[in-house]
Chain A
Amino acid sequence: MADVNAPRDLDDPNRGDRNRDCLRDADRGQLLLVAGLVMAVSLVALVVLLNASIYSENLATRGVEAADGEPLEIRAAAVDGTGTLIDATNREQQEDDGYSDAEDDVEAGITDLNGRLGQTAARRGGIANLSLTGDGLREGRYVTGPVDDSATVRDAERTRAFDLAIGASSLPDANASTAPADAVTAVFNRSAANTTHEVYVYDPDDGSDEAAIATATNGTNATETCRLDAVDGGRLSVGLTAGTIDGEPCPGIWPTELSDEPDAYDIEFANTDGVDAEMTATVLSDGSVTSLESTPAVYDATLRFRYRTADVRFETTVRVAPGEPND
């Protein structure tokens, strides 16, 4: 399109008006300026949004760090450590040692454990504290020794870590129906409820396996719970409270009624003549122990556990009784 404007005359007296016209022509650039600004702002917004999106996706792929890992880890260390400490102390008790010796040892051990756990937590930026509660420690008895039919533990309120070790070659042959008469028998006598619970250990007389366990109530209707085809090392270990046979799981050995039993029960044995059998257990009992070695022991410990970091606070009370059957 041809430019039909009159040529600019610098000497023209109306030059000012013409310059204003030239400036008006420049207004056409405003559209481009506005478009450029809109584009620039939009691009900035887009970049910010993309950045936010990338950041959030980065967070998502990074995974969320579980807040509960460390407190649970330290709590488990506190419980395991205290359990090991109690059992080790009980094992080391001599016949002429009193309960106060065991109590002092466990209290000193818990103080030491508290210091170690505190150091571990401090290295991770946290605070951990372990202390005995007012109830603290409860007195029990650590019972061990060879088992015969006269061995008894009277008035047991609770029992934990009850293990029976039997020479595999001395196990009597039996089956579920003959077990009450022939098998090595551990009897839990709930005299208040006039009920007994039996656990039978025997060598199945069909020759198929080396050991089997059956359970019964009041000595009748014995039911086989589990079998073992080979005994490792010639000595069969039966974890009565743990529910194991030679280390293999055998659930249902421990009578669940005993866990709910408000009254004390007696532990007795039968059909052990000529059988190479030994037991160990820790019992909460004020009653007598016959034909077995018994020393004063710590049955359980009640602890107050506290753990704190910038993000997590965890406080609880926990009772430690290693090897106690689950409710």
Chain B
Amino acid sequence: MTERLSDFVADERAVSVTVGYVLTLAIGALLLSGVVVAVGGVIDGQTQRTVESELAVAGQTAVANLEAADRLARAAEADRPGSEGAVTVAVEADLPSRIAGRPYRIAVDSDAVAVRTENPDVRIEIPHGATRHVSETTVRGGPIRIGYTVADGDAGPGTLEVTER
């Protein structure tokens, strides 16, 4: 009996297979997690940069169109005889519906246009130079309409309003 037990202890025939298998799994898992962590970090960083860049472009486009509507509003009221005739200005801007695949929101007030996404949490604020009063509002990112209306008989000035379309 003792001889059989000592033979079993000394028997190393299956050990190499088990150890090899375990080593392969361990090294593979290590490599895999390394790849996931490294690539995940790169993608997160690139996502952040892309979202910031696209939000900035979308915000600047919104500001440019808001200021264009403001210029049109001022031109519409220049040389307008008193309160005669309605003033209608509308500028439509084709902003992207999603930024790097994520929805976003556009907040407009009398000083700036702020665009933001929640994941990742990025907020870009771009000041605008509109001289007419801008109605404070928040709309979903996407095609927008900037309107300005002064009714016939109203001396104005009116208010610039941003709406979804």
- Which residues from chain A sit less than 8 Å from chain B, CB to CB? 1-2, 4-5, 28, 31-32, 34-35, 38-39, 42-43, 45-46, 48-50, 52-53, 56-57, 59-60, 64, 66-68, 71-72, 75, 79, 133, 135, 302, 304, 310-320
Contacts and interface: CB of A to CB of B under 8 A. Distances in A.
Contact of B39 (A39, A79, A317): A39
Given A52-B50, A64-B65, A68-B72, A315 B87 contact: yes
A28 B24 contact: yes
Contacts of A43: 39
Q: Could you say which interface size class chain B belongs to?
A: 35 or more
15 contacts: A4-B14, A4-B16, A28-B21, A28-B25, A31-B25, A38-B32, A45-B43, A53-B49, A56-B57, A68-B68, A312-B91, A315-B86, A317-B81, A318-B78, A319-B81
Contact of B60 (A28, A60, A319): A60
A67 B53 contact: no
A302 B81 contact: yes
Contacts, number: 144
Interface string B17-30: 10111001100110
A68 B79 CA distance: 18
B63 to A, nearest CB: 9
B92 A311 contact: yes
Interface majority SS on B: helix, strand, loop or mixed? Answer: helix
Contact of A64 (B64, B75, B81, B85): B64
Given A68-B72, A71-B72, A311-B93, 11 more contacts: A35-B35, A38-B36, A45-B43, A60-B57, A67-B69, A68-B91, A72-B72, A311-B94, A313-B89, A316-B87, A318-B80
